[in-house]
Amino acid sequence: MRKLYLVPILHMSADMGTLAASLDETAKAELGQEIWEKHKDDVSRFWDCIAHFFDVLDVEGFKIYQDGMVADGVDGLRIIREGINQGSKNYAIIGKLLERGAILVKTEDLGLVKQEYTYVAKIAHARSKKEKDVWAIRYKRAQGGLLKQRDDFIAKRIRETLGEGETGILFIGAYHNILSRLPEDIQVLQDLASAKLRGEKSEGGQ
C-alpha cells in the first residue's frame, strides 16, 4: 500500500512571485483593506498548523509533490530556495521537510504551467478594465482544459514515482481534482492540521 498526505494550498502573496504586488492591490481594492488583511492572517495561521503537523512526523524518504513544481534535483531546490526567500510558508515547510530527508519530485509539466501563468499575468498587468476583462474571458475558456491536462500529468507523476510502501505529501490547490485519478492502492491521508483549522473557522461562524 502506498500512502499520500493531501495538503490543500491556501496561497500567500509571497507565492505569487512577480505578480504579488499587482494581485495584492487588486484584492485590497475588491475586498477592502480590513478583510484582505484578515484573510492574510488566516492563511498564515493555516500554514503554521501545517508546519506543526509535519514537525512531529518522521518524514525520511517521503516524496514531496508541489502544485506548480516543474523541476526536481538542483533546479527544484533553487525554486524552493527562491520561494523561501520571498516569504512563502508553503515553500518554507517543504524546505524543512527536505532537510529532514524528504525527496522533492517534479510534479508538473513546464509547458502547461507556463500557459496558465501567461493568462494570470495578462490579467494582473492589464492597463484597463476592458483589457483585463478580455483576458479573463480567454482564461476562463481555456482554464478547464488546462486544469484537466495538469491534473492528468500530476496524477501520472504520483503513480510513476511513489513506490510500493512509500509515503508522499501532495501540496495542491483547491481547484485541482487529483484524487479521482489515483489508483486504488494509494491510500489518501487527509491532513489533520488543515481539517482542524477548517473546524475552528466553522465553529467561529466564519
The percentage of residues in the chain with a pLDDT greater than 70, rounded to a whole number, is: 81
Number of domains making up the chain:
1
Residue by residue, DSSP assigns 34-47 as HHHHHHHHHHHHHH
Q: What is the mean pLDDT of the chain?
A: 85
Specify the 3-state DSSP secondary structure of 3. strand
Weakest mean pLDDT among 27-31, 60-64, 97-101, 116-120: 27-31
What's this model's pTM, rounded to 2 decimal places?
Answer: 0.82
DSSP three-state, residue 184: coil
For the residues 151-160, what does the mean pLDDT come to?
98
In this prediction, residue 203 has a pLDDT band, given cuts at 50, 70 and 90, of very low
The predicted-structure confidence for 108-139, as pLDDT tens digits, reads as follows 999 999 999 999 888 888 889 899 899 989 98
Residue 70 sits in which domain range?
2-203
Give me the torsion for CA of 101, 81, 20, 66, rounded to 10°: -30
How many CB atoms within 10 Å of residue 180? 7
Query: pLDDT by residue (tens digit) across 10-55?
Result: 865 555 555 555 556 665 666 677 775 776 788 888 899 899 999 9
